[in-house]
Amino acid sequence: MSDTLSPAALITERPSPTYDEIMKVGHGDYVHAYTETKNDMSPRAIGAIALYPAKNGQGGWHFLSLRSRKRILCNQLKNAVICDKVIDRVHALADAEVEKAKYEADDSMMFKWRSG
């Protein structure tokens, strides 16, 4: 159909991503995601783990914020080195998820007598 466009570019009518856009970040990479800029002393970037690319045409990615444990969308980022503090935070988040799953499993396995 085309010698220059990929099948995805033909279907979505978006240009094919460049090498730099593809290799910017990978799944599970630790990055500093730049959020909104305020004119105060609040941090301009937060530590986050890359989840998957956003299909917004701007090269953005969805990240797991290590601060809020929420998914965030960010177009500007900088790859960072994983240090022990980051590893400890990821382990704490995982432990919290395991405890939450245990609690939910205990609630779902409770059977109560109901007359009739």
pLDDT in tens, 18-30: 666 667 788 889 9
Looking at the domain assignment, is residue 13 inside a domain?
Answer: no
Q: Which CATH number belongs to the domain containing residue 102 in this structure?
A: 2.30.30
Q: Is residue 32 part of a domain?
A: yes
Q: In the block, which residue shows the tokens 């503090």?
A: 85
pLDDT of residue 49: 93
Task: Kindly state whether residue 42 falls inside one of the protein's structural domains.
Answer: yes
Domain that holds residue 102: 24-108
The pLDDT value recorded for residue 31 is 92
Residue pair 31/50 in contact by the 8 Å Cβ criterion: yes
CA within 13 Å, CB half, 42: 8
Instruction: Report the percent of the chain where pLDDT is more than 90.
Output: 22
The answer to whether 49 touches 90, Cβ cutoff 8 Å, is yes
Whether 87 is covered by a domain: the verdict is yes
The pLDDT value given to residue 89: 92
- Number of structural domains the chain divides into: 1
Confidence of residue 71 (pLDDT cuts 50, 70, 90): very high
- The per-residue pLDDT for 109 is 57
pTM greater than 0.75: no
